[in-house]
Structure 1
Amino acid sequence: MALPESIHILQRIRRQYVRAKLWLYALQALAAILVAAAMLWRWQFGAPLLAVTAFAILSTAVLYFILRWRAVSEVTLQHVARHLNRQYPQLEDSTELLLQEPQNLLQKLQQQRVTATLQELHPEQQQAFTLRSSATYTFLGLALLLSVGILYLPAAALTTPEPESIQVEFPEAPVAAADTAAQIQSIDITITPPRYTGKQAYQAKTLNLRVEEGATVTWHIRTSKPAHLQLELNEQSPQAFKQEKEAYTFSRSFTEPGLYTLNLNGQKSAFYTLEIIPDEPPAIQISKPKEYTEIRLGEQQRVTLQASLTDDYGIREANMIATVAKGSGEAVKFREEKIKLNLSGNSRSYNIHQTLDLQQLGMSFGDELYFYLQAWDNHRGYTRSETYFVQIEDTTIVEADFDMTAGVNPVPEYFRSQRQIIIDTEKLLKEQKSISRAEFEERSNNIGVDQKLLRLRYGKFLGEEFESGIGPGGGIPKGAEEHEEETHFEGDGHNHPEFENQNSPEALLDPYLHKHDMEEAATLFEPAVKAKLKGALAQMWEAELRLRTHKPKEALPFEYKALRMLKDVQQSQRAYVAKTGFEAPPLKEPELRLTGELHKITPPSEQKSINQQQELPSTRAALNWLAKYKQTGKYKPADAQLLEKAGQELAEHALSNSGKNLQALQDVRQLITEIRAGKKLCTSCLMAAEQAWAELLPPAKQSPQPGQAVRSRLAEEYRKRVE
């Protein structure tokens, strides 16, 4: 058995370690407890959220200490022995032998040796382990500072403020005792939005309301005594509240803005606004494709659609209406199809990324696609986007309108068009896996023969009347090499030395002659058209080469390019002639002007009387009254009626602009009350009312005034005639 002295040393080290660890964990828990206690001491239960947070911190700190204590209590002498083996190499990793019964003489000798080493090292008298206590002390210091800061914060800084009660102003309140007059004690306004908004009912904070279109507003008012309570909207007949026990209730849905007042026993309150939040229709924004898209030859017959749909309350349905137009002239056929959109996002904002396969829509060369997006929201909103056009380039027009065959025999039936060659090549590539190799090569070679015949057909327009001279780089007919060598050009390339006299008829007609022995002069095409046609023949040659070598996939790009260049040649050969028509001879204005007989022409004798009504008469009268009051400072009780009418005109204007001139209306109401009571009028109210009435009047029309600067005699004459 191990010596008791060695076991005693290990037990002492374990106790030291457990005490140190528990002390650090206690300090960490204490730091969190201090912060929670400071929060409870300062705000107590005035802030429910802070109280819950403080209790959560307390419970977390206690639970943390309990878990750490359990973990430390599980440390055994076996763990201490392993730690000493790592800390002291002199123990030769044999400290664990002290906890075991020796099985042989060798183990017993090793135990004695380890015991002697432990007595020399004395690990229980020095720090045999290290703890990260600096972080714990730092955390505790920060917690102390935070606790002190919380204790010195004002108590109401983080408390939840109580909702302010809604107060009603009565500018015309009579002078009466507070205990005899009925008063409004509390007002609760509940706004219930319509179903299409998806919102819950909520409470209004002020009497100035801003509600959704179609929302239901419910006023719940309590008074100190039974009273007669009414609501007056937009200067219309008042509507009475319903009495329910000790309260009064009025409910109504609104779709238009307005102004309202509360009437308590005949006393009108100040004006309050009722604004309407309109339901906006869905917004559709298409980023791809463009409004007009043309798919050229060789391009993929697909269109990428990228769009975004947004709405203020949510989109109920969205789709695409696509119309395919096939044919031309009077044989055009239309087919309409509804396509479902791939929507991604929430109900208020959708993103669309979709690919339209035109072949699946049954489109071919020359067909057109018209499409637009449409969306419905949860209410009555509907939006339709602009119409977008997608057209697949038609190549049949190239062959039909190619007007360079004047003087040439009609094309035999066995000739293939370039477009037909492309169709045959694409069909061969699709059927390549389903046919044998021999058949594939034979069909590819046959298409190459068709390409050759078509190339020879167009080569005649460039004077290539010999097949041996046709190729990617062009050629010279046989027997013309000597003529080529003897031909030289000087100057700008238009003067030929073979003509001694450049002004002779032969030299002048030389550029316009059709010379079959010279390829460059065999046609009358312009150089640009000739270059494009040569390029098309070169592309045909490359396509023929690959078709003959059984590589139709490599020949397809050259076939498309040849077809595109042929179409460019067709477009460049179009001629535009200006319209001609009858041109009338010029009038002899100086001889005939003002020479007619006017004695039989009499001026019209019809007379009309127009009664012009003055706009806003009460407002103009109120402004005149204000001007007189500023001079005299006197008023009559009957002036209150004048201000009442002017206030009604101001209220009508405020109905269309909710919230504007609201304060001015209250000032006018106060002026009317002071005039009826015989008090001194409020100066600021007079200024505010005058400004509001002045802004209400339309701008005055300008008229010529005497003494103004005149720029010309004509203007002076006009001013005199007007006056």
Structure 2
Amino acid sequence: MSDVAEVRRRVTAKLWRAASLYSFPAWIAIVAPWIILRQLLPVLMELVAAVLYSWWTKKHIDAHWISWSNASFPELEDSMHLLASDVDTAALSSVAQLQRARLSQKIEHAFNDAACRHLARRYLSFPRSLIILSCLLSVAWFFVPAQTTALKDGSLINEIKAKPSLQHHSALSVHVTPPAYTKLPAFTSAPKEMQIPENSQVRWCMATPSSAESAKEALSIHLSNGQTLIFVQRGEVHCAEWQASETVFWSWSADAAKTRIVLKVQLDQAPQIKITTPTDMVQVLAQDAKQVRIALRITDDYQITQASMHMTLARGSGENIRFSDKEMPVPQGKDSKLREWDKLWSLSELGMEPGDELYFFVRATDNADKNPHITRSPTYTLRLPSPDAAAEESLALPMMVKVESLRSQRQIIIDTEQLLADIKANPKLNPNLIRTRSEMIAGDQGALRRRYGKFLGEESSLFADDDGDHGDHSDHDGHGKKGDSAPVDLAAQYGHAHDQEENATLFDEATKKILRRALAAMWDAEKSLRAITPASALAPENKALEAIKQLQQADRIYLHKAAFTPPAIKEEKRMSGDVLDLKNTSKKQNEAAVIVPEAIRNLLITLQRQDSLPALWSKTARDWIAEQINNEEQRLAAQAAIQDVIDGCATCRPALAAWIRQGISHAELILQGRSVLKPKQNSAFDKAWEASLQNKQPPSANGKQP
């Protein structure tokens, strides 16, 4: 072999080794899922594919390594074709011989390990789509039941044979008849875990046993809630019936292993109402609005029998507000489980005029048999402001009387904007004039803030004087005293009356929150104005104006009528004086509620001490768990713990005690004080005084009679 062929062989071998090392982790990622699933055939197929890919890589390197080298290594001077041919060196020209000798010296240094890895990543990149395809196929193989070969496994067959009690289930069938309103078909299944609708009729049936002994073994079905269903003969079969009301697990008395099979009951859900438009609970329309869009969506798990939108129109103000109600049905589509209504209403169709408010909500009813579910959405408000609302200069509420010398918040904003416009038009404006105007606006803002602050109990001001006259009050006492000798009512001057009846009952908490927001914005605006920065005062001034506008609507409040409907009076008991069925509604004070019943306390003590359990303990525990534990999975686990203890598992008692303790709620806090009456203890003086009154003689100095 010539030197050129040897160099060519070494270079291609290096490149093939680098490409193999580069693709090796990818092949591991492809084969690993099938090795985990223990699938031999896919592993063998991928190993064959890896060998073929290695052979293809070798051929690909032999065909293209010359062009790769010329493109990647500038120091080889695009002369690698001299090493590709097997022409004898003596047959070449002197220049070609010299270039081939130079390449033989450079090529070993150029094709180092790092350079070979670089060429493999650049020209021999492994297709990552094969890794994704292999992972997806392995996941599908794992989850598709048709690919399961567990029944062909010898160990599992031996395990089934070791449990002859499961063979009894082959003679038992479960018939489920869903309620008629669900429109679901009835079905029959072998005993297994299943999910059924609420109020479904479940029947466990088996062929009539040939012997009396077999009939005794298959007498009943035991439910986890404590119910026992007895098989009743119906012709050639024995059946036990139950109406599904809660999720339980059941076991058959003929099963010696007491296999527990879960029967999950899917509760009938109430209709779901979603109002997509408008998005806000209170939607303020534009003054020139002519239309408004209302969009809603109602869904139910079975069928929506009735859906309607209730509208209440409010017109007027103060004590002259009139309400008119109307109800409109939501149209039904092709799908009985879904109702959608997206309509662009004209204001004339809704009967709205400027200044009116429209309150609406949606009510939906499903098709449940006994107790249909009724769902009601929150109440939304559409408000159409009147043209005069923007020009009103009134204060927040009708009872807040405006003072003539008090400037409105809108006028303060106008003055601030005018000051900013003057500063922008005349940058050389006198600074003293700017300060004077800014402080005047700040004074107006402070006066307005104090006016609103009176409704929250504020009485002092950091800056300007109050509205009232706080001059000399020395003559108020009528004695004409002057100077320091005059009496001063410090409590009236510096005190603050907290528990004022009007302040406590005049406004609700929501109105007070809006007042606080307005006052905070006024404080910020006044601070910026007094700092001679009117530009930063404009934003809080607008926030205060927005809060005041919101307060102006506080005189109109909509509350949905929720009157109490008393039960009908039985005429046969009226005026009869019979009080046997009446309950005493008088509340016993100063008595804490019983958190843990005595039966539960005794049961916990018995479980903790490993003593013999009391009579009817299982019913007590089941009733407690059904009442206190609402989570479905936790309730099943607690019922399983009860069944374990019934079956004689002594180590399961702590688990049952833990489930019972979980149902114990926290003790309530008693806020009412306890009244304890104690006899009055007379002092020595009282005793002496009483004795003196009895003897008609004055007592002595030491409290004794002379």
Please tell me the TM-score bracket, short chain as reference. 0.3 to 0.5
TM-score normalised per structure 2: 0.40
Higher relative contact order (CA 8 A, sep 6+): 1
> Of the two, which has the highest radius of gyration?
1
TM-score normalised per structure 1: 0.39
